[in-house]
Each structure stands twice: as structure tokens, then as C-alpha cells.
């Protein structure tokens, strides 16, 4: 912290002059970039629609309240599908992610080349959103729950696999050494030395991802991959806002409950 001498007085400042200048410059450049980007967006926006937006919104809300309670009866089946997409998709993803993570973790991989392949699988799966997976899978498998399950599963491999292999790399190596010293086979070393140490995080991460997948599975229906998203799409297309609000309410409650379940299971595991 520089202290400047001004005549006989000492003036204290947080930054000296160049630092202050640089800091201002940084902010200025940042602001300019944001403004420039905003300009591009503004150019690509049809402002007459935007001017109309408040009216549209109030219209939507007015027609959406109260929700169409009777519509609830047709929602049970899609809701069940949504739940299944999330659960089966998570199970699928985790089942693939666990062996992949053991191949990707530095301390359990059989060979560096295998490790890079496993890492590639994880990165590739992480980089593609489940909706994009769904978009492609619907083309191949046709619309339906199956495409949704696979889309959610494919996306989950990367997410859970990354957290799994980080957990594997962080374990305490001493018990592993001790188990190996008893003459245990490689599989036994994994099951006694590694598994008890990583099991809590594997369960925790899986439940966490299940909770995220509930949310994701509400939208894969938008591209035809099953679940409540199909109803949402249909209701929006015909502008039935009371149905839309009913669906949103159901989604809100489902997500709320799943988050609560996931949080309490994770608390139990610690």
C-alpha cells in the first residue's frame, strides 16, 4: 500500500497511480465489451415485439390464473414418465460412469492411454447437453421415453464420471496399500481398499444428479423424448395458459420434492 508524500503530508491510498489507472482501464474495457455485445443483441431484436411484451406477459398471467385444475388428471401419466426418464437415465449413466471413472482415475487406471480414452468419454458426454442428445436420439429411436432415458443417461455419464474419478483420486492410499499387502487380488483391493472410501461420494453424486435429471427430464419432451415436456409444448402451441400454469405448478412441486429427497439422502450419507 503506497504512501505518497505530498509536501509535508503523507497521503495514503489503496493503490498507487499506475495500479489505479490499470484498474480503471480494466473496468472500462469490461464495460465497453458488455455494451458492444449488448449493441449486437439490440440490433438483432425486433423491438416492436419487446414493446408489446408487458401486455403479452399480463395477458399470459391473466389467462394462466387460476390454473386448470381439471387438466391435472391428464398429467399423471406424463409425470410418471418424467420420473422414470430421470431415474432410469441416472441409473444408466451411473452404471457406465463407475467403471469409466475407475479407468480415468490416476491411481486405478491400468494404462495412461486407457485413462485418456476414459477422460475423452467423460468430457465428450459433459459437453453435450441432454436436450441435444435427445434431439439426435429422437431422430434415431423415434419419439418416446426411451430416447429421453438414453439422452439423460448419456449426459449423466460425464457429470457423475468426473466427480467420481476426482473422488477416487482423493482417497487415502494407506488402506489400499494395507489391503494389497495381505495378498489380495486386484479386484479385492478395489472392493476393500477403494470401494468403502468412494462409496459415499458415489451415492451422494448419483442422488444429486438424479435431482438435476428430474429438472432436465421435464424438458426433453420438448423435442419429443417423452415426459411432461410434450404436454408443455402442446399447451404453449395452442396458447392454453391455464394448462401451462398447471404444468409449471406440477413441475415446481416435483422438483421441490426431489430436491428435498436428494438433500436428505446426502445428509444421511455423511
CB of 209 to other proteins, least distance (A): 14
Which are the contacts of 219, defined by CB distance < 8 A and separation ≥ 6? 131, 229
- Of 217, 219, 172, 216, give the one whose Cα is nearest residue 194: 172
- Of 89, 86, 160, give the one whose Cα is nearest residue 121: 160
Residue number with CB closer to other proteins (131 or 261) = 131
CB 92 within 8 A of CB 212: no
CB of 75 to other proteins, least distance (A): 15
Geometric angle at alpha carbon 128, from 159 and 142, rounded to 5°:
110
End-to-end CA distance of the chain: 44
CB of 230 to other proteins, least distance (A): 13
Q: Which of residues 8, 18, 44, 73 is near other proteins by CB under 8 A?
A: 44
Binding-site string for other proteins from residue 106 to residue 145, where x marks contact by CB under 8 A and - marks none: -xxxxx--x--------xx--xxx-xx--xx--xxxx-xx
- Give residues 206-245 in contact with other proteins (rule: CB under 8 A): 215-216, 218-219, 222-223, 232, 236
CB 226 within 8 A of CB 81: yes
Burial of 44 (0-12, 13-18, 19+ CB in 10 A): exposed
CB of 5 to other proteins, least distance (A): 26
Q: Which of residues 68, 197, 242, 266 is near other proteins by CB under 8 A?
A: 197
Residue number with CB closer to other proteins (5 or 238) = 238
The H-assigned helical ranges of the chain are 17-43, 47-64, 76-104, 112-127, 130-141, 145-169, 173-181, 186-188, 195-217, 229-237, 241-269
Is residue 4 classed as helix, strand or coil in its secondary structure?
strand
Residue number with CB closer to other proteins (8 or 46) = 46
Residue number with CB closer to other proteins (41 or 62) = 41
Residue number with CB closer to other proteins (72 or 141) = 141
Residue number with CB closer to other proteins (39 or 70) = 39
Residue number with CB closer to other proteins (9 or 140) = 140
- Give residues 142-181 in contact with other proteins (rule: CB under 8 A): 142, 144-146, 149, 172-181
Q: Which of residues 68, 117, 169, 192 is near other proteins by CB under 8 A?
A: 192
- Of 107, 153, 149, 109, give the one whose Cα is nearest residue 128: 153
Q: Does 257 interact with other proteins (rule: CB under 8 A)?
A: no
Q: Which of residues 81, 96, 201, 207 is near other proteins by CB under 8 A?
A: 81
Q: Which of residues 72, 92, 95, 248 is near other proteins by CB under 8 A?
A: 248
Is residue 6 classed as helix, strand or coil in its secondary structure?
strand
CB of 6 to other proteins, least distance (A): 25
Amino acid at each position: 500500500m503506497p504512501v505518497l508524500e505530498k509536501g509535508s503530508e503523507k497521503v495514503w491510498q489503496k493503490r498507487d497511480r499506475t495500479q489505479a489507472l490499470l484498474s480503471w482501464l480494466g473496468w472500462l474495457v469490461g464495460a465497453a465489451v458488455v455494451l458492444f455485445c449488448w449493441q449486437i443483441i439490440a440490433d438483432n431484436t425486433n423491438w416492436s415485439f419487446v414493446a408489446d411484451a408487458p401486455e403479452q406477459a399480463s395477458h399470459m398471467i391473466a389467462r394462466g390464473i387460476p390454473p386448470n385444475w381439471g387438466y391435472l388428471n391428464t398429467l399423471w401419466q406424463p409425470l410418471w414418465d418424467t420420473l422414470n426418464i430421470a431415474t432410469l437415465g441416472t441409473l444408466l449413466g451411473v452404471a457406465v460412469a463407475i467403471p469409466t471413472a475407475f479407468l480415468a482415475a490416476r491411481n486405478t487406471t491400468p494404462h495412461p492411454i486407457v485413462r485418456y480414452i476414459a477422460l475423452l468419454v467423460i468430457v465428450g458426454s459433459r459437453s453435450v447437453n441432454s436436450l441435444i442428445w435427445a434431439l439426435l436420439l429422437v431422430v434415431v429411436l423415434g419419439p418416446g421415453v426411451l430416447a429421453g432415458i438414453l439422452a439423460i443417461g448419456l449426459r449423466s455419464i460425464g457429470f457423475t464420471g468426473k466427480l467420481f474419478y476426482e473422488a477416487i483420486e482423493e482417497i487415502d492410499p494407506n488402506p489400499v496399500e494395507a489391503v494389497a499387502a495381505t495378498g489380495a487380488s486386484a479386484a479385492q483391493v478395489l472392493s476393500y481398499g477403494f470401494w468403502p472410501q468412494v462409496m459415499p461420494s458415489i451415492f451422494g453424486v448419483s442422488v444429486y444428479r438424479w435431482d438435476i435429471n428430474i429438472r432436465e427430464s421435464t424438458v426433453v419432451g420438448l423435442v419429443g423424448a417423452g415426459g411432461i415436456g410434450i404436454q408443455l409444448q402442446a399447451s404453449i402451441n395452442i396458447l392454453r395458459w391455464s394448462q401451462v400454469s398447471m404444468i409449471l405448478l406440477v413441475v415446481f412441486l416435483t422438483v421441490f420434492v426431489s430436491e428435498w429427497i436428494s438433500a436428505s439422502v446426502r445428509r444421511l450419507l455423511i
